[in-house]
Chains A and B, each alone.
Chain A
């Protein structure tokens, strides 16, 4: 891409700033309804959590976690997901782009499809979820009573970032998949939403094959359960030791690599099939 940038006096960062600023302005047109929607989103997350809470208070095992610790896992996973959803929440909607013939218009512009989708489909209402995560996660950390060390602080910061990478990859992979198998949006998004659900509960409570799948295939359990188990010093089932929690960011990067391959394959399929 170095060659591509040669005679371009405007830097990539300036371009991104312009694209995001214009998106911000165009979203602000709907300021009123957006604030209402943001509030709804926040409310939905709390409802989701209450549901989980009710379910878990009646469950025989919480995978060795107390209710407060369950809440912590939930909000940690949610913060990661919220960041991924804010930036890549539109990536899993490529099917609509293909169906409505909008993809072609995006492909005759010099900016990558990914950047165009991230910046031009950005939904500010998705900030609602981030705000809930930014409040809920530190609150959870404070309430469960942790003996803080530097390593624990570092992991507490890394966990949602790894989570964001993992969930972003799910969204992106699903988008690539939809360009190949049109009509498979539900199937493509199953990993995203299944992963989001599995990531938000203590993995020890999950059926073993599911736990193994969401650790080593679709690494959703790196987003909260494993790092929180390490920070809290809670034992995890054999095969998924809690020190794996340190590998959230690398797992996210690996997933991102795989998602990029899907995304490219999707584009290649699209240009091969002709929509």
Chain B
């Protein structure tokens, strides 16, 4: 293994055995959740691991973090064989499961970090400065004394990320950390993870089913579909392959007569006698450009932006590839 390979998976596969029916007519079904994944991630990369629900993202993450045995193939994480060397590995990686809290429900964040630090056997001289850094970076000050169960989802997720970063891991794995998060928390997370990466060279692997969540954080996109690798390349390559056009819906006070749109923006249709516009725009165009073009003609009341769904991207990839 090359020494700068943080993750190295070769033909990594996982089947689940599902038993169905009663005791008598029991059937055994094999669900191939991940099929022959080849994936190399080098130190300092930020990889967005994308896939629709059920495509095999969490299965991959569990095998990388040593809590699931591969059915076939091999995997090395920071040089460790994850399952047999799980406890060694836990000291060098940080894992966030978006759906499952790793914090203590009844404790405030303030009391959580000494416990985690003890588990990692970090002396106060090491973890306290690090903690201060995380509190500042993830903006936790306002709710350090609130029991975790009373935190909003966004607050809790920032706490989860701080917990996973406390021991300064070389690799951070986040499994759908952005589901249900408000824009501000998402942006805060993105900024902080980006900073970790720039200042410490931390490698980041983030799964999501929402392309918009990872575009600005990750420079590499890996897409899996039904357990198989569908795409591995840069954001730009992905955009080129799929067109990756975003949708914007704008509600107006008055119809926008004589609207002139910038290049790369297409008016698909209008609704409510011209009071709602549905626009599609390409990667090179910013949402602000679209908005200002519309605002030049009418008062904007409301707007929403929709990223292309991962299913559409996959469909495009298969059609083109």
Q: Which of A13-21, A62-70, A80-88, A232-240 contacts B (4 or more CB under 8 A)?
A: A13-21
Using A26-B107, A274-B68 as known contacts, say yes or no to A108 and B118 having CB atoms under 8 A apart: no
Residue interface mask B118-132, A partner, CB < 8 A = 1: 111111000000000
Q: Contact at B100–A109, with CB atoms within 8 Å? A: no
Using A22-B111, A22-B115, A101-B100 as known contacts, say yes or no to A107 and B86 having CB atoms under 8 A apart: yes
A11-49 interface with B by 8 A CB criterion: 11-12, 14-15, 18-19, 22, 25-26, 29
B32-90 interface with A by 8 A CB criterion: 59, 62, 65-69, 83, 86-88, 90
Neighbouring B residues of A25 by C-beta, 8 Å? 111
Residue interface mask B88-132, A partner, CB < 8 A = 1: 101101010101111010110001001110111111000000000
A90-136 interface with B by 8 A CB criterion: 101-102, 104-105, 107-112, 116, 120
Q: What count of chain A residues pass the 8 Å CB interface test?
A: 32
Bound complex: CA of A25 vs CA of B106, how far in Å? 11
Q: For the complex, is A55 an interface residue (Cβ under 8 Å from B)?
A: no
Q: Contact at A102–B100, with CB atoms within 8 Å? A: yes
A2 to chain B, nearest CB (A): 13
Neighbouring B residues of A29 by C-beta, 8 Å? 106
Q: What count of chain B residues pass the 8 Å CB interface test?
A: 36
Q: Contact at B119–A109, with CB atoms within 8 Å? A: yes
Q: For the complex, is B16 an interface residue (Cβ under 8 Å from A)?
A: yes
Q: For the complex, is B14 an interface residue (Cβ under 8 Å from A)?
A: yes
A42 to chain B, nearest CB (A): 24
Bound complex: CA of A274 vs CA of B18, how far in Å? 11
Q: Contact at A18–B114, with CB atoms within 8 Å? A: yes
Neighbouring B residues of A274 by C-beta, 8 Å? 14, 16, 59, 62, 68
Neighbouring B residues of A10 by C-beta, 8 Å? 118, 121-123
Bound complex: CA of A9 vs CA of B16, how far in Å? 41
Count chain B CB atoms within 10 A of each CB in A4, A11, A109 and give the residue with the most.
Answer: A109
Q: Contact at B69–A272, with CB atoms within 8 Å? A: yes
Bound complex: CA of A8 vs CA of B121, how far in Å? 6
Q: Could you list which residues of chain A lie within 8 angstroms of chain B, going by C-beta atoms?
A: 4-5, 8-12, 14-15, 18-19, 22, 25-26, 29, 101-102, 104-105, 107-112, 116, 120, 270-274
Additional pairs, 13, CB under 8 Å, beyond known A104-B97, A108-B95, A271-B69: A9-B121, A9-B123, A15-B121, A22-B115, A29-B106, A105-B100, A107-B67, A107-B86, A108-B67, A108-B93, A270-B67, A271-B67, A274-B68
